[in-house]
Amino acid sequence: MGSCAILLAVILAIDLSLFVFSSRLIPRSPDPPPCRNTDPRTRRSDQMTVVISGYSEHRIPLLHSIAAAYSAAPSVAAVVLLWCNPSTSSHTLAQLTQNLSAAVLRTPSSSLNYRFYPWEIIKTKAVLICDDDIEADPSSVSFAFTVWKSDPDRAIGFFARSHAYDVASRTWIYAMEKEKYSIVLTKFMILNIKYLEKYSCDEEYGEARRIVEDMNNCEDILMNFVVAEEAQKGPVMIGVKGGGLRDYGDARNDGVSEGVKEVGLSSRGREHRKRRGECIREFHRVLGRMPLKYSYGKMVDDVGEQGLCEKSGKLVLCDQQDFR
């Protein structure tokens, strides 16, 4: 009887470990499931789903910290890691799932279009699409979600860029302008899941999706085209207090390993911007219109005194003065 009890305990332990593993690493299918229309009334509106796109194995240690940070936000219902590197071994992915505050979904290929697929695991109306090198604190995440809820037809983000028309070359270009913007990046983008369905399932955008495949770039620009076309509004940029948002992938980082900060597309500098300008022109060509719309200013989470006062011989924000 003692031997049987020990054997039964071993079997139960093995079964339990398999169950925990399978709940975190969702089995890969050769193709995504077919698109289907979901009743929006069945989706939660009080929280959002975070979808992190992962590719570089150099960033696996970083992903644990990032997933934990998003999971700690009260506005987050679930965190999903899309693993988009087909060459990563199952053993490496199994190690990744250990103590990870996220479900792991391995995509059928490395296509950037999968970032915007309406996966069945997403049960909320709001979806936060983000990179695997961006870590936002819970208060910044919750504030961004609050802004999105005030106008859920818009795309919301911390990082903004712009399209512009270059008169000299008579072409659309990709730019970064101080006074206006028309694109929010997928470094951090909150949007309605209906736009994921539109992007991935509407044949109107089929040729544009193929451009994303060919360029291996610009899925975020195409999504901004989709949102602007459907909402007839520009995006909203969110302002963050100092320290609330960490970008590990920025090439200007000190103290971050090259393997972590040099794997992103944005690290390619001028050539990267040139290619994204080509994407804008191609999307304009195949869609036959330019739906992108400019926005101005950004949303901030408090309104304080902006005037400067002198204190101990230095100019500081007047809010920092003690007027007692």
> Which pLDDT tens digit goes with each residue over 38-65?
777 889 999 999 999 999 898 888 999 9
At 241 the pLDDT is 75
Segment among 33-42, 115-124, 167-176 with least mean pLDDT: 33-42
Query: How large is the average pLDDT for residues 1-30?
Result: 41
Q: Which of 131, 133, 137, 220 is catalytic?
A: 220
Q: What is the 3-state secondary structure (H, E, C) of 74-123?
A: CCEEEEEEEECCCCCCHHHHHHHHCCCCCEEEECCCCCHHHHHCCCCCCC
- 125-141, pLDDT tens digit by residue? 999 999 999 999 999 99
Distance between first and last Cα of the chain: 79
At 318 the pLDDT is 73
Given a cut of 70, whether residue 290 has pLDDT beyond it is yes
Query: What's the one-letter identity of residue 112?
Result: L
Q: Helices 269-287 and 206-215 meet at what angle, rounded to 10?
A: 160
At 27 the pLDDT is 57
Among this protein's residues, is 220 annotated catalytic? Answer: yes
- 258-288, pLDDT tens digit by residue? 555 555 444 455 688 899 999 999 999 999 9
Quickly tell me which residue has 């101990």 as its tokens: 312
Calpha distance 25→19 (Å, rounded): 10
DSSP code for 299: B
Calpha distance 205→199 (Å, rounded): 7
Given a cut of 50, whether residue 124 has pLDDT beyond it is yes
Calpha distance 158→103 (Å, rounded): 24
Cα angle 142-244-135, degrees, rounded to a multiple of 5? 80
Query: How many angstroms separate the most distant Cα atoms in the chain?
Result: 88
Element (H, E) at 273: helix 269-287
229-243, 283-297, 300-314, range with greatest mean pLDDT: 283-297
Pairing verdict, β 188-192 and 124-131:
antiparallel
Q: List domains and CATH numbers for the chain.
A: 24-30+44-252+259-320 (3.90.550.10)
Given a cut of 70, whether residue 3 has pLDDT beyond it is no
